């Protein structure tokens, strides 16, 4: 399928702003400048998320004595439906250098309401101030914190999923590998939106889509150079999960990929390796889409569609036992929130 025409117009405008408008490409910006532009663009490119019954700011302690911030979205009215509630632990994208709680607020709100489930969105520390493996350690610390403290927030850790987009998806799937190796509780599913999985960006899709499709090769390498300490980090499975010796006994995976994303081929390769290892794996490639399309709600309808697909997958996983079915009153409350 050809590139979605609305995306084509958007990309043409973005290119014109660089060529004729004097705007520098991301790889020529400082991390601080790139973050400001990334955050500012969110308000233009994405729609506001739905109202959520309860949104709580949380501080999570880390192994090095520092702390990170997280945001818990709870769509349930406790007066209608008591917990414990299922929860998705979510990690945002941004190449380990960009993004935060606000850049993915709409996405997390929508998943919380549509599923319905609680969503704990983690703001791991960013590079280059905090290089590899700080983001990995922060993700693991957030996972342990949730396992230890979830019950106090009426969260059901027996119904815990992990997910993320781009670099955040890499952190999420890395958690399942670490959980298996360290004999931690394995999540019940992993939601992976266009994950970074390869040590080297040399696939056909990287070559075909190196420029002009939002996530450009120079930008991607700028991100990785800011994040990685040296060449040895590239072949660490925590950065490139395709390097893992095996992917056996991991949580079922749902991979969302985009036809015009440089990461397409490595996403397919990871899905195939998961499946070959016996992991229940579902892959959906969205035709005509580019990287990060799930946050382009003001540009393409597929941003809404992919959120519904993820919510459907989570709902089937969280509520597959009839004893967990949310009652009709809760469902009415959720749909009312969506309408707002």
Cis peptide bond prior to 303, omega within 30° of 0: no
Catalytic, out of 205, 291, 292, 309: 291
Check 121, 138, 141, 166 and give the catalytic one. 166
- Selecting among 46, 105, 261, 292, the annotated active-site residue is 261
Cα gap 96→214, rounded to integer Å: 17
Q: Do β-strands 189-193 and 155-165 pair in parallel, antiparallel, or remain unpaired?
A: parallel
What are the tokens at 89?
A: 């632990």
3-state secondary structure the chain: CCCCHHHHHHHHHHHHHHHCCCCCCHHHCCHHHHHHHHHHHHHHHCCCCCCCCEEEEEEEECCCCCEEEEEEEECCCCCCCCCCEEEEEEECCCCCCCCCCCCCHHHHHHHHHHCCCEEEEEECCCCCCCCCCHHHHHHHHHHHHHHHHHHHHCEEEEEEEEEEECHHHHHHHHHHHHHHHHCCCCCCEEEEECCCCCCCCCCHHHHHCCCCCCCCHHHHHHHHHHHCCCHHHHCCCCCCHHHCCCCCCCCCEEEEEEEECCCHHHHHHHHHHHHHCCCCEEEEEEEEEECCHHHCCCCCCHHHHHHHHHHHHHHHHHCCCHHHCCCHHHHHHHHHHHHC
328 is catalytic: no
Both tokens assigned to 223: 């991100």
Is the Cβ–Cβ distance between 167 and 96 less than 8 Å? yes
What is the rounded CA–CA span in Å between residue 163 and residue 253? 9
Q: Nearest Cα to 145, choosing from 130, 157, 131? A: 157
Query: Would you call 261 a catalytic residue per the annotation?
Result: yes
Which residues are designated catalytic? 166, 261, 291
């Amino acid at each position: 399928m050809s590139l979605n025409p609305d995306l084509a117009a958007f990309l043409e405008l973005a290119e014109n702003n660089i060529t004729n408008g004097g705007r520098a490409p991301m790889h020529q910006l400082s991390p601080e400048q790139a973050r400001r532009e990334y955050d500012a663009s969110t308000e233009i490119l994405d729609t506001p998320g739905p109202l959520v019954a309860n949104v709580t700011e949380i501080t999570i302690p880390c192994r090095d004595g520092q702390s990170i911030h997280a945001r818990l979205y709870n769509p349930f009215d406790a007066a209608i439906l008591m917990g414990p509630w299922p929860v998705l632990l979510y990690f945002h994208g941004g190449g380990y250098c960009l993004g935060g709680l606000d850049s993915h607020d709409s996405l997390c709100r929508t998943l919380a309401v549509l599923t319905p489930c609680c969503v704990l969105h983690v703001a791991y520390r960013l590079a280059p101030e905090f290089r590899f493996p700080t983001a990995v350690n922060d993700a693991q610390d957030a996972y342990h914190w949730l396992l230890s403290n979830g019950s106090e927030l009426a969260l059901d850790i027996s119904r815990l999923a992990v997910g993320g987009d781009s670099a955040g998806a890499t952190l999420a799937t890395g958690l399942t590998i670490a959980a298996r190796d360290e004999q931690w509780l394995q999540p019940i599913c992993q939601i992976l939106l266009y994950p970074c999985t390869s040590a080297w960006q040399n696939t056909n899709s990287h070559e075909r889509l190196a420029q002009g499709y939002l996530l450009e090769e120079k930008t991607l390498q700028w991100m990785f150079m800011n994040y990685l300490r040296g060449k040895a980090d590239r072949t660490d499975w925590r950065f490139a999960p395709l390097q893992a010796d095996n992917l056996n006994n991991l949580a079922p995976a749902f991979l969302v990929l985009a036809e015009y994303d440089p990461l397409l081929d490595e996403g397919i390769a990871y899905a195939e390796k998961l499946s070959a290892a016996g992991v229940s794996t579902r892959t959906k490639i969205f035709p005509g889409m580019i990287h990060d399309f799930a946050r382009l709600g003001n540009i393409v309808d597929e941003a809404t569609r992919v959120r519904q697909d993820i919510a459907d997958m989570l709902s089937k996983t969280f509520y597959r036992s009839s004893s967990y079915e949310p009652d009709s009153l809760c469902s009415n409350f959720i749909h009312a929130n969506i309408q707002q």
